[in-house]
Structure 1
Amino acid sequence: MNSNRRVFLFVVYAVSAYLFFSLVSYAFGLHWRPFDRVNLIADVVTGDSTFLADGPGSDTTGGSQPIIIEERPQQDFLLYHTPHYITGFQTDTSLASLPHLMAKLYALKNGQQQKIRIAYFGDSMIENDLLTQTFRKRLQEYFGGQGVGFVNINFVGHKLRQTIEHDYSNGWKDDNLRNASDKSTLYLSGHRFTTSGDWVSVTDKTITDSTYVTEKILLCGKTEAPVTIRVNGQPVSINADKSFNRIVLASDISRKLRLDVDDSRLPLYGVSFEPLSGVIVDNFSFRGSRGDEYKSLDSNFLQTIAQENPYDLIIFQYGVNVLFRANDKNFTWYARMLMPVVERFRSSFPKADFLITGTADRAFRYPDGYATAVGIDTLLKIQATTAYETGSYFYNLYSTMGGKNSIVDWANRKPSLANKDYVHPNHQGAEILGNWFFEDLLREFEKYSRRQQKGDTPK
């Protein structure tokens, strides 16, 4: 066989195999990000507004119904387009969304002492407390409370975070959503830390009252026997007998906490600075995440977190990492992957309201210059439908930013509100988003308050 024929057959076999795996990945919803970028049929199979996808595949949450996303002309569903609006897709828009959260905020505002916890999940859009630091500050100023909430043992860009002073030694082992062989008991941050001789120091910079008492709390996993660590130089015995443990280390006016750990049996998740009563907003950012990575967390572990450290509102803000190719319009694979994650969190935290924040605007370079990703409307519809199908709430961040080409406008303003990557709002832009989100949530609270004051409580 001459060399030309061998080359020809090699190309034919390689392309045939490549096409086969492309078809299989599309048919069964299998995704590996490097392969997704070069899938042979990705630009041939375009997304449309109607599809019937298989169920959640390998997910073990018990979900068995197929995921259906179709044209929904109902006026209540179309509310997802509305900027500056948190919708539960209810026909009566005078009813407040997030009723569980609103009831607790109403009680807190009227003098009832309690903690209200909000978990805000996202990618690099909220890294280093962007957006959440403003949202937290406004909530605490209006409803009460001080304290930065959750802080990871270490994280990318920790020196850039404005709400804390954070330092640590370099020997910590970080198991996370990217590298861990066992992801079942990673924390909501996507991390789990161990060490046999390292330290971490955190100072909360959000506290404005020097006499304000906060609880300093250790969040950790299970050990078979008590472990001794040093807290601000003093030995403390940690009895961590549950899969997730919340251990109060101090309740005082100090803003600083230092931990020295020399026993690798103790899995650590982080620390939390919390008011005795008031609002807590935890930032759970994980760079590059699409949200579907949390499918690996064990349901029983999540339920233990819900018992020990309950949340009243859980927010998922993802999307820009789903839009990783300029011409993608088909995101049915993402619907199949996101739905079981939302269902798992909804079942594990049954008392919490759940809010899906639709993707922010992001732009790519097209022949006529930078412009909004062509598939963004399709992705937003999928995210809204996921909220609709799971009984969750929805907030359209894209529309709130200004819609088409808003990220381009933000980046080109003087002074700018976004970076020239046309993906990430900068500190000024994130502050605007945080203020808007608080004000939009406050409108729902005012709806709830008016009904309570009238004695008109919806059934």
Structure 2
Amino acid sequence: MSGKNKSAYPFYIILGTLVCVVGLSQLNYSFSYKDFQFRKLDMLSDLRTSSTSPDQQKLTAAGKDSSKLSVLDSTGAVVNNPAVPNPDHAHDYMSYTGILEYASPVPGDTIVGMKQFFAALRELKAGKRRKVRIAYFGDSMIEGDLITGDLRDSLQHYFGGAGVGFVPVTSVVASFRTTITHTFSTDWKDYHYKNSPPSSVTLGLSGHTFYPGGNSWVKYSPVKKPLLDKFQEVSVLYGPAASGSVTINDKAYTLSGSEPVNRLDLQQDTGQASVTLRYSGSAMPFYGVCFENGNGIYVDNYSFRGISGVELGHLSADMIHRMQQERPYDLVVMHYGANVLFRPELTDYSWYERPMKKVMDSLRQDLPATSFLIIGTADKSYRKADKYITAPGVEALLKVQHDLAAGHGTAYWNLFAAMGGEGSMVKWVEGDTVMANKDYTHFNRTGAAKVGALLYKAIMNEYSQAQQP
């Protein structure tokens, strides 16, 4: 071959490389390593005067997709297409690790995401109100005060307050909980979601109502941890009572009240090392005892093992209204999903979405001035062939949960994205720091603490943005 022909080699190499690059850029293919994806080559990108990239143009064209719904910027203004990057506040719900806030689609409804909750926090910080409360509903993911205990601790260190909040009369996880010491007699009758209570029984907000037996008692003791080491403001929540008598730390009290929820405050017992409640008389309903200390923020854990959230539809509107009078909540958190993903390869969750829409309709109607936050499911892995992978149903369920938030003017936080997205549960189970159990579904204490920290960070980031002019 002549030297002249050899001199053309660089040209052929460059030309061949360019052809390969252009060809590969036309592929619509991605693989899991660090989310790598081929992208189409745009030869004129540097010459374009428009600020909209080809990828953004494709997202704009997809504006009618159900995953591209309106969110709010930090001032509460609606951003019409969250899929398109926006200098104010717009994100894809499947990948964004912060909190998305949605405006209610109902005409005249002024509830906007977490706006009311953040306004309450500002008033608390300014000394214009004494307390802010959060009702955190969930399944076994939060039982034993997991996640909520760490979230409460962080919020109270910043906003003030001390105390564990609401604790039921009995609990299947009392021995597992580390934020309070809780013991009780075995003769309490527990009516709840799963044992078909009679129509005469009104379930409490926890999904339980407790009736005493002949010699029923319950004892609560503080634990040696910051903000949890003493009881000061103690409140007993109970149902309709004609003239029941309860002894608390050897002091007798007469219970009265015909409302679905009544409250007995025990300010005079300030400083007691423990609280022991004994009941005598005809059976009457009890819900639980609340522990608070001073002005600040309180997080009540309403865990119920094995439920999906649909069960909240069994709660009485009268009970909710009365509870809001006796113990008002500024934010309701709904954290479900583990029990919905019982068939990992199932991807049609219309059977779940329909009743949950009714639950959300009801709760938003019963708590019209309360903010809501829906937490998207955590990653859940299952064994396929010789390895664990993310269940196909996870993404499908996240879409349902996101659409529930967007359709009801609530906030939304994608826990799946926050913990790392696809395959993250495997890393949490098998990593150097073990943060989840071998069922590839539930967090251990270390993982729950991290989730609590991630949620606290997301809330505080959104709170800070809401502070900006």
Shorter-chain TM-score tier:
0.7 to 0.9
Question: Which one of the candidate residues 267, 272, 277 is aligned to 1:254?
Answer: 272
Q: Which has the larger radius of gyration?
A: 2
Write the distance in 1 (CA, Å) between the matches of 2:342 and 2:232: 41
1:375 Cα deviation from its structure 2 partner: 1.2
Contact residue 164 and residue 228 of structure 2 kept, 8 A: no
The answer (yes or no) to whether the contact 1:148–1:281 under 8 Å persists in 2 is: yes
- 1:290 is aligned to 2:303: no
Q: CA RMSD in A?
A: 2.1
Paired residues in the alignment total 377
Equivalent residue for 1:381, pick from 374, 394, 399 = 399
1:152 to 143, 168, 186: 168
Residue 421 (structure 1) aligns with: 439
| Cα distance in 1 between the residues matched to 2:67 and 2:432 | 40
Kindly indicate whether residue 250 of structure 2 is the aligned counterpart of residue 233 of structure 1: yes
Per-residue CA deviations over 1:169-226 (Å, capped at 9, x if unaligned) read 1111000000033377211211000013210001132763699773100011112x12
- Contact 2:231/2:291 (CA < 8 Å) preserved in 1? no
8 Å CA contact 1:194, 1:264 repeated in 2: no
The one-letter amino acid of 1:348's match is D
Alpha-carbon shift at residue 307 of structure 1 (Å): 1.9
1:214 to 217, 223, 232: 232
Which residue identity lines up with residue 100 of structure 1 in the other structure? Q
Q: How does 1:174-185 map to 2 (within 5 A)?
A: 174-182=190-198, 185=202
| 1:388 shift after superposition | 0.8
1-side partners of 2:447 and 2:434: how far apart?
8
322, 345, 354: which is aligned to 1:327? 345
Runs of 4+ in 1 over 6 A off after TM superposition: 209-213
Match of 1:412 among 430, 435, 452: 430
In the aligned structure 1, how far is the partner of 2:65 from the partner of 2:394? 17
Letter in 2 for 1:436: L
Contact kept, 8 Å, 1:151 with 1:270, in 2: the verdict is: yes
Work out which of the residue numbers 97, 101, 108 in structure 2 matches 1:84. 97
Gaps of 5+ in 1: 1-68, 91-95, 452-459
Q: Is the 8 A contact 1:227 1:266 kept in 2?
A: yes
* 1:263 Cα deviation after fit: 3.0
Aligned residue number for residue 453 of structure 2: 435
SS at match of 2:468: helix
Tell me the equivalent position of 1:126. 142
Gaps of 5+ in 2: 1-63, 70-80, 84-90, 104-111
For residues 116 and 262 of structure 1, do their structure 2 counterparts lie closer, same or farther at Cα, with a shift above 3 Å needed? same
1:413: how far off? 1.4
In 1, the alpha carbon distance for the partners of 2:94 and 2:341 equals 19
2:266 match: secondary structure: strand
Matched AA of 2:183: D
Q: Which moved more, 1:247-256 or 1:418-427?
A: 247-256
Q: For the residues of structure 2 that align with 1:328 and 1:206, how far apart are their CA atoms?
A: 45
Q: Does the 8 A contact of 1:310 with 1:349 survive in 2? A: no
Which amino acid in 1 is paired with 2:427? Answer: D
Distance 2:95 2:273 in 1: 41
Deviates more, 1:99-108 or 1:143-152: 99-108
Secondary structure of 1:226's counterpart equals strand
What residue is the counterpart of 1:363 in the other structure? 381
- Deviation (angstroms), 1:264: 4.3
Deviation for aligned residue 1:408: 1.1
1:242 partnered with 2:255:
no
Q: Corresponding residue for 1:27?
A: none
In structure 2, relative to structure 1, the CA distance for the partners of 1:339 and 1:293 (3 Å cut) is same
Q: Which residue of 1 aligns with 2:292?
A: 274
Post-superposition Cα deviations, 1:425-451, rounded to whole Å, max 9, x if no partner, equal 100000001011111101111112233
Whole-angstrom distance in 2 between the partners of 1:255 and 1:381? 47
Structure 1 position 107 matched with structure 2 position 123: yes
Task: Please say if residues 205 and 255 of structure 1, whose CA atoms lie closer than 8 Å, have aligned partners that are also in contact.
Answer: no
Of the candidates 316, 326, 345, which is equivalent to residue 363 of structure 2?
345
Q: Shift in Å at residue 71 of structure 1?
A: 2.9
Secondary structure of the residue aligned to 1:357 is strand
- Shift, 1:419, TM fit: 0.5
TM-score, length basis structure 1: 0.78
- Work out whether residues 309 and 356 of structure 2, in 8 Å CA contact, stay in contact via their aligned partners in 1: yes
**Cα offsets for 1:136-166 (capped at 9, x unmatched):** 0000000000000010111112111110011
Q: Which amino acid aligns with 2:306?
A: G
Aligned partners of 1:210, 1:82: CA distance in 2, in Å?
Answer: 36
Identify if the C-alpha distance between structure 1 residues 191 and 152 changes in structure 2 by more than 3 Å, giving closer, same or farther.
same
CA contact (8 A) 2:180 2:228 kept: no
Q: In the alignment, is the contact (CA less than 8 A) between 2:428 and 2:434 conserved in 1?
A: yes
1:26-78 CA-partner distances (Å, limit 9, x unpaired): xxxxxxxxxxxxxxxxxxxxxxxxxxxxxxxxxxxxxxxxxxx9734343376
Percent of paired sites with the same residue: 36
2-side partners of 1:219 and 1:430: how far apart?
29
Alpha-carbon distance between aligned partners in 1 of 2:274 and 2:82, rounded to the nearest angstrom? 48
SS of corresponding position for 1:167: strand
Whether the 8 Å CA contact 2:222–2:230 is kept in 1: the answer is no
2:468 — aligned with what? 450
Instruction: State the distance in 1 between where 2:340 and 2:118 align.
Output: 31
- TM-score after normalising by structure 2: 0.77
Q: Hey, what's the Cα distance between the residues in 2 that align with 1:107 and 1:195?
A: 40
Q: Deviations over 1:235-294 (max 9, x none)?
A: 111113211112212351234211001234320011000123111100000001100011
Contact 1:164–1:206 (CA under 8 A) maintained in structure 2: no
Q: Deviations over 1:336-393 (max 9, x none)?
A: 0111111111111111101110111111111242111111111100110011111111
Deviation per residue, 1:290-317 (Å, 9 max, x gap)? 0001111121221111222110000000
Structure 2 letter corresponding to 1:84: T
